[in-house]
Amino acid sequence: MGRRLEDALELINPIMELQDEIDKVNHEEYERKFTLKENCKATLRWDEKQGCLRRPCITPTQESLFLERSEIIETLPRFWSTALSADDSLLRYMNEEEQEIMLKYLKSVHVSYHGGAKSGYTISFNMDINPHFENATLEKTFNFTREGIYCRRGTAIRWKTNEDTQSHTDMPSFFKWFAEDTHNYHDLVAEEILVGFWPSAHQYYQIGRKRSTEKLEDVDLSKLTAVSDKLQRAEFQASKEKYTMGHEQQLVLQKGEREVHRECESSRRQIYERRSEIIERIPYFWLIAFSSHYALHHLLSSEDRKIFRYLKSVDVEETEDAKGVVSGYTITLEFDTNPYFENDSLVKMISYTIVSINPLQGYTENKVNISVSDTHWKDGMDITSRNRREFTDTGTSFFTWFTNL
C-alpha cells in the first residue's frame, strides 16, 4: 500500500503540469475573444459604460441637410434665441443671468462633426456684440476615446470689467461649462444640445414663437419644415443602418468566438486525454477529487463515498447544434463493476436553446433541457429511494442528480 501511495504521489506533478497547460489554453481563449470583442466595439464606436452604440452617428446626407437648414435659418429673425427660449431642458443648465445674456445676444448655434461623428464633434454658440464678454464665439470640442468622451478644448470667456456672472458663485454654470475639461463618458450638457436642441431646433423655434409675448412678424416656415422632414427621414435611415451594422458585427463576433472556442476546446480535449491516462494509475483519484472540491464535497454522503470508490473516470463533452453553436454538454461518470448498480456509466445531458443573445454586452438568455440515463440499481442497493435515505448524512444522495425529476 505504501508503495502504491508513493507511486501515486509521483504522478501528481505531471497532472499539475497538464493543469498549467489547460490554464494557458483558457487564458489564450479569453485573450483572443476579448480582442475580437474590442475590435467589434471599436468598429461600432461602442460606449462601454452606457452599453450602447456611441452617439452621435451622422451620415453625409444628414450633414448636407443640416447645412441646407442653416442657410434657411439665416433668413429667419432671431431664430436661435427664440428656439432656446422654448428648450426648458437646456435652459435649466443656465442661471438667470446666463439665460438673459443668451436669449438677448445669441446669434447662431452650430454643431460640426469630425469624421462623420466617429471621432468627435464641436459645439459652437455664436454671439452678437454684447456688454458682457469679448468672445464672438463660445465653443467646445469633444473627441471620442476608448474610455469615453474627452474634451480637447473649450472657450475661456474673456469677461469685460465686473461682468463675470460666475465670479461670485461656485455653482455649476453654462458659461463655466465651455472652459471646463471633460473626461467623463457622458456629458449632460453636450448630450442635451447634440441630441435634443440641435436636431429639433425647428420645433423649439415654433414653440418659442407661440410662447412669445412680443408681436412677431409673419415668416414662411415651409422650407424649414420641408428640410426638417427630410432630416427626420435621414435620421431614421441612419438609425436603421446603425442597427444593421450592429447586428452584422454581432454575427461576426459570434462566428469568431465560436471558431476560437472550437480550437481551444480541441486543445483542451487532447490535454484531458493525456491527463486521463495518468489518472487511471492513481487509486481513488476521483473520490479524493470530489471530496476535496470546495463546492462538491458537501454533496457526497458517506454512502455516496463508498460508491465513488468505484468511479473510474469523469468526462464532460460539449455538444453543438446544426449551426455549430455550443448548445449544451454531456457529463459521463464511468464506473468499475460494483455491488450497487449494473451500469458501466451514468450520463446526464444538459442542453439549452438560445432565446436571445447580445455578445457585445455579454448577455445570453437560454431555455434549459435536462435528461439523464436510468440507474439500474441492484436489489436493495438504491440509496436514492425513500427506504434507503437513512444511510445518507444529508437525507439525499448525490445520485439523485441522475434521477429524472
Containing 134, the helix (H) or strand (E) segment is none
pLDDT given at position 48: 45
| Same-domain status, 124 and 213 | yes
Q: In what order do the strands lie in the sheet with 363-372?
A: 311-320, 326-335, 345-358, 363-372
Of the residues 218, 233, 267, which one is the last residue of a structural domain? 218
206 and 93 part of one domain: yes
Tens digit of pLDDT for each residue in 48-82?
444 444 455 677 888 899 999 999 999 999 999 99
Q: Which regions of 288-387 does DSSP assign to beta strands (E)?
A: 311-320, 326-335, 345-358, 363-372
Domain that holds residue 181: 77-218
Strand partners, 330: 317, 349
User: Is 28 a domain residue?
Assistant: no
Specify if 357 maps to a domain: yes
Q: Are residues 290 and 374 in the same domain?
A: yes
Residue 19 lies in a domain: no
Do 208 and 307 have their domain in common?
no
Neighbour-count burial of 136, counting CB atoms closer than 10 A to its CB (0-12 exposed, 13-18 middle, 19+ buried): exposed
What letters, b where the CB count within 10 A reaches 16 and e where it falls short, cover 23-48? eebeeebeebbeebbeebbeebbbbe
| pLDDT tens digits along 186-229 | 788 988 998 899 999 999 999 999 988 777 778 889 999 999 99
Residue in this structure with the C-alpha cell 469624421, named with its chain if needed: 115
Q: pLDDT (tens digit, 9 = 90+) per residue, 295-342? A: 898 889 899 999 999 999 999 999 888 777 888 999 999 999 999 999
Please report whether residue 66 resides in a domain.
no
**Which pLDDT score, from 0 to 100, does residue 311 have?**
97
**pTM recorded for the entire structure:** 0.60
Closest CA to 70 of 230, 222, 227: 227
- Tell me what the pLDDT averaged over the chain comes to: 84
Q: What is the mean pLDDT of residues 90-103?
A: 94
Beta bridge partners of 363: 358
Q: Are residues 101 and 210 in the same domain?
A: yes
Last residue of a domain, one of 193, 218, 243: 218
Domain at 309, CATH number: 3.30.1120.90
With respect to residue 148, please indicate whether it lies within any of the assigned structural domains: yes
Is the domain of 120 the same as that of 205?
Answer: yes
Question: From the centroid of its chain, how far is CA 8?
Answer: 47
Clarify whether residues 209 and 81 are in a common domain: yes
**83 lies in the same domain as 209:** yes
Pairing mode, strands 148-154 and 137-145: antiparallel
Query: What's the total number of domains in the chain?
Result: 2
Share of the chain above pLDDT 90, in %: 52
Q: Are residues 296 and 387 in the same domain?
A: yes
Q: Do 83 and 191 sit in the same domain of this protein?
A: yes
Q: Within a domain: residue 177?
A: yes
User: Which among 218, 239, 264 is the end of a domain?
Assistant: 218
Answer yes or no: do 89 and 181 share one domain: yes
Evaluate whether residue 225 is within a structural domain: no
Angle at 143 between CA 107 and CA 177, to 5 degrees: 50
> Rounded to whole angstroms, how far apart are CA atoms 332 and 339?
19
**191 and 94 part of one domain:** yes
The answer to whether residue 115 sits within a structural domain is: yes
